[in-house]
Homo-oligomer: A and B are copies of this chain.
């Protein structure tokens, strides 16, 4: 049994940017040579999240509209009074989305569905350089 920590950096374009990182995950598994185990994606930071979805333009618009509806960017947030950076909505969206995902793999392949991609969700109100840990445990 081995543990490997990979770090990847993703440049985002700010709020609403959804980035398909499935290729990075498959690449890290290939490099590891491990056959069975799991991979955890973790984004360091409190204004981004990680989840899975079918990565197609219609759904990407739906997801953006969903987040805008339940945690509007135009609303006033108390957090904005603290720092003046106007990204209270980003923090709220990130907190209930969650910063991580653990995916089992077998025969060196992640056990995702055919239409299920791993996505980094940028919620911050400006472009960010995101650090993600891809941690693999397996044999």
For A40, list chain B residues within 8 Å (CB): 38, 102, 104
Provide the main secondary structure of the chain A interface: mixed
Return chain B residues, CB-CB under 8 Å to A71.
66
Report the bound CA distance from A95 to B67 in whole Å: 11
Contacts of A137 in B (CB 8 A): 37-38, 137
B58–A81 CB distance below 8 A: yes
Q: A5-B36, A53-B94 are in contact. Are A111 and B61 (CB under 8 A)?
A: no
Residues of A within 8 A of B (CB): 1, 3, 5, 36-38, 40, 42, 44-46, 51-54, 56-59, 61-63, 66, 69-71, 77-82, 88, 91-92, 94-104, 106, 111-113, 115-117, 131, 133, 135, 137-139
